[in-house]
Chain A
């Protein structure tokens, strides 16, 4: 190991590039994130709990943020799987176009998807007009938040499941079929277990992204306190009221949630790599 390390240092630029990387990382990411935790030191434990946890408006925001993200990630797990399946297995007209379009949420600014979805699902919009007689309101409700978070999270599931499906050996399915399994049995017993880690990984990625999402939700949510106010918006409201400490406290809770999700994602990705 040591020997290998030494022989690789034959290439130039190690000190320079690593030095720049660490300095820039520290200045731009680590120190500012550390500042967030340092700020919470100005709060006593009781104040922190009151501002970041027991305040009913904050609690309602967490419940909405995590609840809507969970529902959106579940929708994406199901429909994202179907999209990935269809893209990998079936020929159909416009397939390459659909495949490229899946990445749209990565490239489209969230403010743009926000105003577009709001207009589309408002009671006068193209889709909202059809849902309104049925008594279904989407824009300015929690349902709208789920729709926005579904758009944001979709590519994570598709792009995570697609390679796993592509890597499946058709021999396994042939073996299952030749042993008398029906197509559904083969799917349930052979295909699904093999791609499950990638589905879970995509689900968690899409959930993690949804929890922090702001731009698209901000427009469609209506932002009513206690009802359709997500946690990131509450941070902004507290900042605008110059209540830095409350904003910091909520921010720390959200940040710890993101770190925990990051750990889960890393674990899931290692697990799904072992399957390939």
Chain B
């Protein structure tokens, strides 16, 4: 399988002589590469290709029509609104949390880091459930909200809140280890030179963390636009009103409208590909070791 970014390496390059004593036979190497490629193809490549192939199976016109339909437009709008709120808020939080945790010593720091990671450990369905328990008609605040005519679940605010929850750790997770590794020396020098807090952040810290920050933001955005489980619980699936793009995909798919379902899915898949490309570019720009393992 020749990928688009084919390597410069000739196909059957023998192992460098210095390594022969500690390298596998050529047969073993080819076998392992083969197994890895077949596995990746079955689990990742084919599903990705299939999305685009089914999306265009009925021609370009049907593909484009899938987005002109009012319900699809409403779903795209709701997804964009949700991401436009969730991503900046959680980016701001991530920067604050990383500043407090990486630049200062205080008790309970490790507990705080574990608590920040918690939304990753929680099932998306439970993320939706907890907000139903708070705001749903039979939840703790449900009767009060009803009395005051405030609708949170089965409406946009509920979707935004659930999305905020599932995307909560992304930026913080990326920045905390990065800023911890960088230490405080440069910021302290800036203080000595008379910079104020905002100047220190803007001129010293931000340039050092920009790639990690960008990486956290794009992952946060991908999740915000693609979240299914949590949003599905709190959305109520009202067509044209509370359906995000992933929920719209579900509805079209369950109606056996496969071409349209995969057309909308292809937009989300395209977004995922852009995310991966940006990630690769960031890795190349910043040196691989600066990227900290996501979600782990």
Asked if A and B bind, the verdict is yes
Check if B114 sits within 8 Å of A205, measured CB to CB: no
Q: Which of B3, B22, B132, B296 contacts A94 (CB 8 A)?
A: B3
Q: Which of A91, A116, A177, A266 contacts B50 (CB 8 A)?
A: A116
Q: Which of B126, B245, B296 contacts A251 (CB 8 A)?
A: B126
> Is B7 interfacial (CB 8 A cutoff)?
yes
Given the known interface contacts A17-B100, A79-B36, A106-B219, the answer about A116 and B295 at a Cβ–Cβ threshold of 8 Å is no
Number of interface residues of B (CB under 8 A): 115
Q: Which residue of B lies closest to A156 (CB)?
A: B296
Q: Which residue of A lies closest to B265 (CB)?
A: A112
Given the known interface contacts A98-B40, A115-B265, A154-B44, the answer about A211 and B229 at a Cβ–Cβ threshold of 8 Å is no
Main secondary structure of the interface of B (DSSP, over half): helix
Q: Which of A20, A120, A211 contacts B93 (CB 8 A)?
A: A20
CA distance A244 to B140 in the complex (A): 11
Would you mind naming 21 contact pairs between A and B with Cβ atoms under 8 Å apart? Answer: A1-B105, A5-B106, A13-B103, A21-B93, A21-B101, A86-B33, A87-B36, A101-B44, A101-B276, A107-B276, A115-B265, A117-B47, A119-B50, A186-B22, A212-B124, A214-B123, A215-B232, A242-B137, A244-B132, A254-B126, A258-B123
The 7 closest A-B pairs by CB, nearest first: A109-B226, A212-B123, A94-B3, A97-B3, A215-B228, A12-B197, A214-B229
CA distance A5 to B106 in the complex (A): 7
Check if A108 sits within 8 Å of B296, measured CB to CB: no
- For A154, list chain B residues within 8 Å (CB): 43-44
Number of A-B contacts (CB under 8 A): 337
Check if B134 sits within 8 Å of A266, measured CB to CB: no
> Is A49 interfacial (CB 8 A cutoff)?
no
Residues in B155-190 with C-beta less than 8 Å from chain A: 161, 164-165, 168, 184, 187-188
Interface membership of chain B positions 239-264, coded 1 if the CB is closer than 8 angstroms to chain A and 0 otherwise: 00000011101100100001001100
The stretch among B59-67, B143-151, B267-275 that forms the contact with chain A is B267-275
CA distance A176 to B21 in the complex (A): 10
Q: Which residue of A lies closest to B140 (CB)?
A: A35
Interface membership of chain B positions 55-97, coded 1 if the CB is closer than 8 angstroms to chain A and 0 otherwise: 0000000000000000000000000000000000000010011
- For A96, list chain B residues within 8 Å (CB): 3, 5, 7, 280
Given the known interface contacts A5-B106, A110-B226, A254-B123, the answer about A266 and B47 at a Cβ–Cβ threshold of 8 Å is no
- For B206, list chain A residues within 8 Å (CB): none
| Nearest CB of B to A186, in Å | 7
Q: Which of A11, A39, A117, A232 contacts B103 (CB 8 A)?
A: A11
Check if B99 sits within 8 Å of A116, measured CB to CB: no
> Is B11 interfacial (CB 8 A cutoff)?
yes
- For A259, list chain B residues within 8 Å (CB): 121
CA distance A9 to B134 in the complex (A): 38
Q: Which residue of B lies closest to A244 (CB)?
A: B138
Check if B21 sits within 8 Å of A177, measured CB to CB: yes
- For A94, list chain B residues within 8 Å (CB): 1-7
Interface membership of chain B positions 17-58, coded 1 if the CB is closer than 8 angstroms to chain A and 0 otherwise: 001011111001100110111011011111110110010000
| Nearest CB of B to A207, in Å | 12
Check if B226 sits within 8 Å of A35, measured CB to CB: no
Check if B50 sits within 8 Å of A232, measured CB to CB: no
Check if B125 sits within 8 Å of A13, measured CB to CB: no
CA distance A213 to B233 in the complex (A): 14
Q: Which residue of A lies closest to B127 (CB)?
A: A32
Check if B294 sits within 8 Å of A106, measured CB to CB: yes
Residues in A118-140 with C-beta less than 8 Å from chain B: 119-120, 125-127
| Nearest CB of A to B114, in Å | 7
> Is B118 interfacial (CB 8 A cutoff)?
yes
Residues in A163-222 with C-beta less than 8 Å from chain B: 163, 170, 173-174, 176-178, 183, 186, 201, 205, 208-209, 211-215, 218-219
| Nearest CB of B to A108, in Å | 4
Check if A239 sits within 8 Å of B233, measured CB to CB: yes
